[in-house]
Amino acid sequence: MISKEKYDALYKAMIRERKSRKEAERIIEEKSAEIFFVNEKLKKVNQDLEIRIEERTKDIEDSRQKLIVAKRIAEEATKAKSDFLSSMTHELRTPLNGVIGLTDLILDEDVNDKVKDMLSNIKFSATHLADVINEILDFSKIEAGKITFEKVQFNLPDILKVLYKNLSITAKQKGLKLFLDIDDEVPELLQGDVVKLNQIINNLVGNALKFTEKGHVKVSCGLESKNRKDNRVTVYFEIQDTGIGIKKEKLESVFDSFTQSDSSIGRTYGGTGLGLTITKNFIELQGGKIGVTSTYGKGSTFYFSLPLVFISQKESRKKETKQRVYEALDLKVLVADDMAINQLVVGQILQKWGVEVDLVSSGQEALSLLDKHEYDLVLMDMQMPEMSGCDATRIIRTDSRFQAVKDIPVIAFTANAFENSKREVYEAGMNGFVTKPVNPIHLYETLSNFRKSS
Ligand code: ADP
Report the range out of 134-138, 202-206, 251-255 with the highest average pLDDT.
202-206
Stretch 214-227: mean pLDDT: 93
Q: In the prediction, which pLDDT does 76 show? A: 85
The best mutation among 136, 276, 298 to test binding of ligand 1, ranked by most ligand atoms within 8 Å of the C-beta, falls on 276
How far are the Cα atoms of 14, 195, 394, 408, 446 from residue 397, in angstroms, in the given order?
113, 35, 5, 9, 21
Q: Which atom of ligand 1 is nearest to the CA of 257?
A: 6
User: Average pLDDT over the chain, rounded to whole?
Assistant: 86
Radius of gyration for the chain, computed over Cα atoms and rounded to the nearest angstrom: 38
More confident residue, 268 or 30: 30
Stretch 250-256: mean pLDDT: 86
Angle at the Cα of 123 (from 117 to 127), degrees rounded to 5?
A: 145
Give the bridge partners for 335, in sequence order: 359, 379
CA 422 to chain centroid: 14
Task: Give the DSSP H/E element, type plus range, for residue 308.
Answer: strand 299-310
The best mutation among 254, 295, 300, 302 to test binding of ligand 1, ranked by most ligand atoms within 8 Å of the C-beta, falls on 254
46 vs 420: CA distance, rounded Å: 55
Provide the Cα torsion 162, 165, 166, 170; round to 10°: 160
Per-residue pLDDT reduced to its tens digit, 430-440: 998 888 777 78
Quote the ligand 1 centre to 271 CA distance (angstroms): 8
Stretch 333-356: mean pLDDT: 87
Quote the ligand 1 centre to 160 CA distance (angstroms): 21
How far are the Cα atoms of 22, 213, 336, 345, 378 from residue 340, in angstroms, in the given order?
114, 44, 10, 9, 17
For residue 216, what is the DSSP state? E
| Parts of the chain belonging to CATH 3.40.50.2300 | 332-453
Quote the ligand 1 centre to 266 CA distance (angstroms): 9
CB 144 within 8 A of CB 82: yes
81 vs 136: CA distance, rounded Å: 11
More confident residue, 441 or 389: 389
362 vs 359: CA distance, rounded Å: 10
Q: Is the pLDDT of residue 154 over 90?
A: no
Q: What is the pTM of this model?
A: 0.57
Q: Is the pLDDT of residue 258 over 50?
A: yes
User: Per CATH, which fold does 148-320 belong to?
Assistant: Heat Shock Protein 90 (3.30.565)
The architecture in CATH of the region 332-453 reads 3-Layer(aba) Sandwich (3.40)
Q: Which atom of ligand 1 is nearest to the CA of 272?
A: 2
**pLDDT band, residue 371 (cuts 50/70/90):** confident
Q: Is the pLDDT of residue 259 over 80?
A: no
Provide the Cα torsion 134, 203, 117, 215; round to 10°: 160
Sign of the four-CA dihedral 96, 158, 164, 284: positive
For residue 442, what is the DSSP state? H
> Which residues form ligand 1's pocket by a CB distance below 6 Å?
203, 207-208, 211, 241, 243-246, 254, 259-262, 265, 271-277, 300
89 vs 136: CA distance, rounded Å: 9
Which contacts qualify for 398-406: CB closer than 8 Å, 24 or more apart? 401/371, 402/367, 402/370, 402/371, 405/370, 405/375
Stretch 366-384: mean pLDDT: 90
Closest CA to 297 of 241, 239, 240, 246: 246
125 vs 173: CA distance, rounded Å: 14
Quote the ligand 1 centre to 436 CA distance (angstroms): 29
Q: Is the pLDDT of residue 153 over 90?
A: no
Q: In what order do the strands lie in the sheet with 432-435?
A: 356-360, 332-336, 377-381, 410-414, 432-435
268 vs 156: CA distance, rounded Å: 34
Stretch 35-39: mean pLDDT: 93
Quote the ligand 1 centre to 96 CA distance (angstroms): 26
Q: Is the pLDDT of residue 124 over 70?
A: yes
Quote the ligand 1 centre to 276 CA distance (angstroms): 7
CA 119 to chain centroid: 31
The residue whose CA is least distant from atom 7 of ligand 1 is 275
Q: Which residues contact 189 (CB under 8 A, 6 or more apart)?
A: 153, 154, 155, 156, 310, 311, 312, 313, 316
CA 293 to chain centroid: 27
Q: Is the pLDDT of residue 452 over 60?
A: no
Stretch 117-140: mean pLDDT: 81
Determine which of 140-149, 328-337, 340-349 has the lowest per-residue pLDDT on average.
140-149
| Parts of the chain belonging to CATH 3.30.565.10 | 148-320
254 vs 249: CA distance, rounded Å: 10
Q: Is the pLDDT of residue 184 over 50?
A: yes
Tell me the Ramachandran region of residue 437: left when phi exceeds 0, alpha when psi lies from -120 to 50, beta otherwise.
beta
Closest CA to 36 of 44, 158, 102: 44
Quote the ligand 1 centre to 296 CA distance (angstroms): 13
Q: Which atom of ligand 1 is nearest to the CA of 245?
A: 25
448 vs 426: CA distance, rounded Å: 19
433 vs 184: CA distance, rounded Å: 39
Tell me: cis bond preceding 157? Omega within 30 of 0 counts: no
245 vs 247: CA distance, rounded Å: 7
